[in-house]
Amino acid sequence: MMNLDRLVVASHNQGKIDEITEMLAPYRVEVLSAKALDLPDVEETGTTFAENARLKAEQLSLVSGLPCLADDSGLCVDALDGRPGVYSARYAPNRDFNLAMDKLIGELRQSGSKDWSAHFSCVLALKIPGEACRFFEGRVDGEIVPEKSGDKGFGFDPIFKPKGFDKTFGNFEKDEKAAVSHRGRALAKFIKEVFDAD
């Protein structure tokens, strides 16, 4: 078990910060956001979720001198050749995900594909000063629905229906989503290795 009492989350996305803070609450770790510490946005120049997560974790750990947990995640749609993928945040004009969802549904309709299968992927990178970066990956499979449903969550949640459920992530309560989401699964692996290890 590691003594990790302060942790910087390398994100300016309040939705991500809230999800991570809530899942780590039982472990008495002080979660500090990059935004709260006035740390810079790190340019995501990687071509994979792991590369982008590593870039953010290493740079913000170096700047802050603290352990840093970085997340890179996105929605990958089969009929769109895996797009938007690592470009999910940039797919939203001015970070307006209502427009992004409309755009995505429009592209799927134009594709003519009847298969709207998709998955969310998340890679967490943990960088502790003086140690190598560690990675934790989570994935949830599902499909895109043609109409937005629900006002919970953030990003593409209102149009993503996870496999085995009859509702979108936009209709999930926070605890319910954390148990099955890509970020929840990656965080569960992180928690098991960092806090629950003997």
Q: Which residues are catalytic?
A: 72
Euclidean distance between CA atoms 59 and 70, whole angstroms: 10
Euclidean distance between CA atoms 198 and 196, whole angstroms: 6
Packing angle between helix 14-24 and helix 182-194, nearest 10 degrees? Answer: 40
Residue 81: CB partners within 8 Å, gap ≥ 6?
A: none
**Number of Cβ atoms within 10 Å of the Cβ of 36:** 12
SS3 158: helix
**Number of Cβ atoms within 10 Å of the Cβ of 198:** 3
